[in-house]
Structure formats: structure tokens, C-alpha cells
Amino acid sequence: MTANTEHPSLLDLPPLSAEHFAAVEDKVAALLRTRCDVVAMQGEALLPLEACIRSAAPRGSTALNVITGPYGETFGGWLRDCGAEVVTVTAPFTGSVGVEEVARALREHPETGLVSLVHAEAATGNTNPVAEIGAVVREHGALLMLDAVASVGAEPLLTDEWGVDLCVVGGQKALAGPAGVSAVSVSERAWERIAANEQAPRRSYLSLLDWKERWLDGGRTALPHAPAQLEMLALEQAVDRIAAEGLEASIARHRSASAALRAGARELPGLAPYVVRDQDAAPAATTLRVPAEGVEAREVVAAALKAEPRVPLQAAAGPLAAEMLRVNHYGRAADRAVVLDSLRALATGLESLGVAGAESAGRQALAAAGAAWDGTAAA
Ligand SMILES: *Cc1c(COP(=O)(O)O)cnc(C)c1O
């Protein structure tokens, strides 16, 4: 993109009105299939995630934290920081959490007041059965907080039907929108419990109650502070674009990308989907295992990006960087050509690292991926 300093399109815009801000929130509520309050929060999604936990986990309460990747670990730290007793259920990064494990933990800890769960994890490429877990949590009576940042727009997300009390989304993944603003839906039950928590942040950037008192309860007519105008406009455009495409079509595109990537990766020597079962695989991103002797995932990524610098490949963070890489096929990258280019780059990268048979396997991978895309797109 070229900057046009004479006619800057991002500057000198008319102020974003309270009415417009509320309209963007309503569009997000429609996307989340919720009739609950939706609050747009002016920061990256970690802001409402931390706000939810600090609001809904009183000192001395018990919280069940489901860990299926790095975000769950972060939530555990915040919960302990709030003084909550944390019960942890951990699922392997090769799959999803079972509803039975959640049910058992709730039976063993009937005092649980909050369950924190990540819907899909871009970092570990897995997705969890929220509908089933939501039913179990609702029967128990605890609040359910869901991190749906990596699932919104990429797979079904039925906030009210599934009984999600606090549903956090951001624009930066499947919506291909801004990262600097995010949103959370808050159920009536959640508001009651948050209001009863004396420790819940007040007069703070982390405060959900401030937004309730200063924005929602006044009928959303006056904003409490200057709106993050550019980010809100970008979020609106992202949600409008998904609506124009059709949410179902966006979900289908992500599903096809996942199926194609997994089918193609199975043909490549030394690579395999990290998440074993298709139904546990996040439609937004695919993680791949690199079991080849002497070849590390980060080397494969570097070699692949050297061949095709624009494909959405990334080595896993931390200790997993040796054995896991990920393909971020979300947003505009949930696209047939991008998926095929990613596989071609991986084959070329493996070839350049001396992995035997990578070149011919690459051709098979492209054929398998194309067939899988077309098969799921037709389904
Ligand atoms: C991407 C993502 C977020 C947002 O975190 P960033 O590191 O800012 O991208 C939050 N939760 C989940 C599950 C995510 O995948």
C-alpha cells in the first residue's frame, strides 16, 4: 500500500457517535447469536478475557480452568491471582477436552462457580465441544466463560443456545479485522454474580461494571470515553463483510481449508496433523507434527518461507518449536490457493532440507488437498 500524505484516509474523520458505537455492538451480538448485552472493549482480546476473570472469580471461590493450549495457562494465572482455588483439567494438544472430564471435575468440586474454556486454540490447532460442555456447566450452575477469539467466523458459535455466560471475541482471526478492539457478551446471571463480587474491578480499564453503569444502564447514549474510532470502524467493516459473504459461507471456507491442509500434510514425508481426529481440529489453524529425524519444525518453517515468503506458516512458540509448526489459514487465508501454496512451500522446504521424496510427495499433497477442498466445499 502507498501512503497518501496529501489525502490521509485514516485522519480527520467525523467523531464516532454513541449510536454508531452501539450499532457495531449490535452487529457483533448478531454474529454471536446472543440476545445478551455485548460490550465492545477498547483493547486486544486479552483485555476482556482478563476483565471477565477478575470480575467473575471472587477470592476464595473455586474455578475450573480447562487447559487445551497457552491461553488456558494464562487464565489459570489470573484466577490464582484473584485468590480463587483453581481446579485444572488439561487436554493433550493432540485432541480436545472430553465433556466427561469436565463433568467429573464438576462432580468432584460442586462448589465451582466459574468454568473457563477456550473454544478453538490457534496456537495448538484444536477445538473443544462447547455445546456439550455448556450443557453440563449449565446443569451444574457455574458460569461459563469462553474464549472464542479463534473460532468466531470460522466455526459455529451459538452463545445463548450453548449457555455461554461470558463470550469473548476479537476481530483479528477469522473476521480478518482489527486486533485493537474486542467484545464480550455478558448474560444476566453473569451480571448478577459480577455485581455481587466486591473484588470485581471498578473505576478501572478492566471493569465490566463500569461499562454497565456508564454505558449500558444509561441506554448507550453517552460513551464513557473517546471511542477507538478506527478500530471500531474496522470491526464494523469486518463483521459487515462476513455478513455479506454469509456466516455459513465463511465457516465452510474455514472448514475446507482445514480439511485440505490436513489431507495434504498427510502426503508429505515427515509431517502429520498434530491434532489426531478431524473433529478436534480447529478450522482456523492447523498444527503439524514434524517427527523427521534431525529436522526441526522451525527449520522446516524457515526453509518453506524462503521458498514462498507470503504463506501463513509459523513455528510453534517455546519448547514446541522443535516438533510443531502451524498454518494460520484464517480470515482471507482460508482460501484454496493459500492452502495449496502453503503445502507447496512445505514440500519445497522439506526438499531443500534433504528430506527424501519431498518433491513427488508435494505433487500428491496438492492433489489430495485440492480434492479435499472440493469435497468439503461440495458437501
Ligand atoms: C489469537 C487468540 C487470542 C488473541 O491473542 P493474540 O496473541 O493477541 O493473537 C486469544 N485467544 C485465543 C484462543 C486465540 O487463538
pLDDT tens figures, 333-354? 999 999 999 999 999 999 999 9
* Residue 378: band (very low, low, confident or very high) from pLDDT cuts 50, 70, 90: confident
pLDDT at 66: 98
Bridge partners for 87 per DSSP: 64
Q: What is the pLDDT of residues 99-131, one digit of tens each?
A: 999 999 999 999 999 999 999 999 999 999 999
Distance, CA of 379 to CA of 374 (rounded, Å): 9
Cα 12 vs. chain centroid, distance in angstroms? 33
pLDDT at 319: 86
Span 307-313, average pLDDT: 97
| Span from the CA of 27 to the centroid of ligand 1 (angstroms) | 21
| Span from the CA of 368 to the centroid of ligand 1 (angstroms) | 30
Residues with CB under 6 A from ligand 1: 44-45, 71, 118, 121-122, 147, 149-150, 170, 172-173
pLDDT at 1: 47
pLDDT at 7: 72
Rg of the chain on CA atoms, in Å:
22
* Residue 3: band (very low, low, confident or very high) from pLDDT cuts 50, 70, 90: low
In this structure, the residue with its CA closest to atom 10 of ligand 1 is 149
| Span from the CA of 194 to the centroid of ligand 1 (angstroms) | 24
pTM of the model: 0.96
Q: Which atom of ligand 1 is nearest to the CA of 45?
A: 4
| Span from the CA of 77 to the centroid of ligand 1 (angstroms) | 16
How do 286-289 and 324-327 pair as beta strands? antiparallel
- How many other C-beta atoms are found inside a 10 Å radius of the C-beta of residue 291? 11
Q: Which atom of ligand 1 is nearest to the CA of 150?
A: 15
Which grid cell is 183? Answer: 467484545
Q: Which atom of ligand 1 is nearest to the CA of 69?
A: 13
Q: Which residue among 71, 121, 254, 314 is best mutated to probe the pocket of ligand 1, counting the most ligand atoms within 8 A of its Cβ?
A: 71
In this structure, the residue with its CA closest to atom 11 of ligand 1 is 149
Distance, CA of 339 to CA of 345 (rounded, Å): 10
- Of the candidates 242, 248, 246, 262, the residue with the CA atom closest to the CA atom of residue 339: 262
Span 59-80, average pLDDT: 96
Which grid cell is 176? Answer: 480478518
Distance, CA of 286 to CA of 94 (rounded, Å): 11
Alpha-helical runs (H) found in 18-69: 18-31, 46-56
| Span from the CA of 331 to the centroid of ligand 1 (angstroms) | 14
Side chain identity, residue 153: G
- Over pLDDT 90: what percentage of the chain? 94
pLDDT at 198: 98
**Rounded alpha-carbon distances, angstroms, from residue 45 to 118, 148, 157, 187, 368:** 13, 10, 17, 18, 36
Q: Which domains does the chain have, with CATH numbers?
A: 15-244 (3.40.640.10), 247-378 (3.90.1150.10)
| Strands across the sheet containing 272-273 | 272-273, 286-289, 324-327, 313-315
When the pLDDT of each residue in the chain is averaged and rounded to a whole number, the result is 96
Contact 258, 286 (CB under 8 A): yes
* Residue 5: band (very low, low, confident or very high) from pLDDT cuts 50, 70, 90: low
